[in-house]
């Protein structure tokens, strides 16, 4: 079970890195591949985050539901912005997705 948890955390962090990389790629080069990278990475983060919360709920530890709720709302917002960015690419949407991803990292790290 520890390996599965570590694998999910690894994939979750890769999703975050993909969102940030896609954001930087879209801002720096205005690449047409950047919106898809942001979308796929946001979906990876959303799915792995939900599975990680499910595993935490099955365990003995306490889960901060308010924190998880805030992170879920931000993750859904990133995904919605990513979908809009794929439909009609705009640097502004890439910046919003990147900023929301950084906000989600800040919530994860600083909310104790």
pLDDT along the chain (112 residues), means of 10: 95 97 95 95 98 93 94 98 97 96 96 91
**Contact predicate 53/68, CB 8 Å:** yes
- Spatial neighbors of 107 by CB under 8 A, at least 6 apart, are 67, 70, 71, 74
The closest of 8, 80, 74 to 44, measured between CA atoms, is 8
Q: What is the pLDDT of residue 112?
A: 87
């Amino acid at each position: 079970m520890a390996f599965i948890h570590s694998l999910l955390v690894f994939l979750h962090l890769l999703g975050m890195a993909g969102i940030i990389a896609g954001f930087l790629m879209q801002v720096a080069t205005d690449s047409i591949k950047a919106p898809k990278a942001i979308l796929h990475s946001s979906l990876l983060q959303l799915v792995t985050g939900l599975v990680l919360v499910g595993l935490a709920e099955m365990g003995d530890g306490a889960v901060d539901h308010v924190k998880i709720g805030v992170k879920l709302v931000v993750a859904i917002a990133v995904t919605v912005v990513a979908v809009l960015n794929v439909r009609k690419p705009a640097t502004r949407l890439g910046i919003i997705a990147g900023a929301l991803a950084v906000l989600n990292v800040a919530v994860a790290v600083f909310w104790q």
